[in-house]
Amino acid sequence: MDSLVIYHFSRRDNPDLEIQLKNFKAPSLVTCQRVISFIPEDQEANLTENLHPVLKYDRLAGREMYHFILEVICGLRSSLLGETEIQGQFREFVKSHLQNQDSWIHRWNSLFQNLLTDSKEIRQNFLKDLGSHSYGSLTRKLLKEVQTVQVIGAGQLVQEIEPWLSEKHLQIYSRKNKMPAFNKKSKAPRESFHLRDFVHLKKSEALVVAAPISNDELQDLIHSSPKPITKLVDWRGENQFLDHELLKMNITQYFSFSQLTEQLSKEKKIMTEKLKPAFLEIEKKSEQFFFKMIVRPMGWDDLCA
């Protein structure tokens, strides 16, 4: 019997992924960062003939496939490292297809249950009390005492930061007329505005800059605020403010890009040490799975019986 393979489509590499996969009928795990499609090798040619020619993807099988899926559902390839949501999404994906009697996924039920068992064990043993070293976690830490936050930008960086501020009221400003969809599970309001409306709205005491905007324009916006902005988290890679400029704007806490990246680097080293045992265990689990697969002469249906 032919093996199972996966096609991994990253949303970062494929901005129009939903449109490009419109005619692709393979059962797929869909998350906010990726789509993973499960394909029997004996159906691969038929299923992939309609793939959009500009799509970028990785094809994985055997040990590499198992290793990759286990990392994903353990939350080790997420912006929020160690998150549990992907594991829940994978569980629901498997459950929905097992309930469908016509689904071919029944043939690989043991594989999927093995993945769920391994991910649960790894999470319990290695992924507790991790903290994080992401843009969002550091921003949340710096704005711990703030309830309402203004954000300039609406690109990938803002979308990475926004879930970490789920309990804060966000006012998001951009030059775009159409804002992207943000986290539906947020506990506090999200408001989207055009940047030109910045001067007409009630301000918060904290501002996060996550878009290319000049110092002069940013200073003008801050000076126009009826309420002082005391905290400025500046994720721009250049055009950092000098001390005398901060004094003129009455900003008492300024976190420059160089300070932010230095702090991230320190936290990343700590996180790397914490995660080593989890990655070693995933490697071990993948080896065990691969060995169990190759010693069965009947192939996948014997493994997954």
Residue 53 Cα distances to 20, 62, 304, angstroms: 9, 25, 34
Q: Which phi and psi (to 5°) does residue 80 adopt?
A: -95, 90
What pLDDT, on a 0 to 100 scale, did the predictor assign at position 226? 66
- Statement: 135-255 belongs to CATH 3.40.50.2300: no
Residue 305: the pLDDT is 45
Q: What integer pLDDT is reported at residue 183 of this predicted model?
A: 67
At 305 the three-state DSSP class reads coil
CB atoms within 10 A of CB 218: 21
**pLDDT of the residue at 28:** 92
Backbone angles phi, psi at 220, to 5 degrees: -60, -40
**Domain covering 4-128+273-303: architecture:** 2-Layer Sandwich (3.30)
Q: What is the pLDDT of residue 67?
A: 96
Give the per-residue pLDDT at 284.
95
178: left (phi over 0), alpha (psi -120 to 50) or beta: beta
Q: What is the DSSP string of 236-273?
A: -SS-PPPHHHHHHTT-SEEE-HHHHHHHHHHHHHHHHH
Q: Where in the chain is the domain with CATH 3.40.50.720?
A: 135-255
**What's the pLDDT score for residue 209?**
92
pLDDT tens digits in sequence order for the chain, 305 residues long: 358 999 999 988 998 898 889 888 889 999 878 999 999 988 898 888 878 888 999 999 999 999 999 999 998 987 667 778 889 899 999 998 888 766 777 788 889 999 999 999 999 999 887 666 678 888 999 999 888 899 998 887 888 888 889 899 988 898 876 666 666 677 888 888 888 877 655 667 799 998 888 888 888 888 876 677 889 999 987 677 887 788 788 788 999 888 888 888 888 788 888 889 999 999 999 998 888 766 554 554 444 44
Per-residue confidence (pLDDT) for residue 1, from 0 to 100: 36
Kindly state the greatest CA–CA separation across the chain.
76
Per-residue model confidence (pLDDT) at position 201: 58
CA distances from 227 to 202, 206, 208, 231, 250 (A): 7, 10, 15, 12, 11
Range(s) of the chain covered by CATH 3.30.460:
4-128+273-303
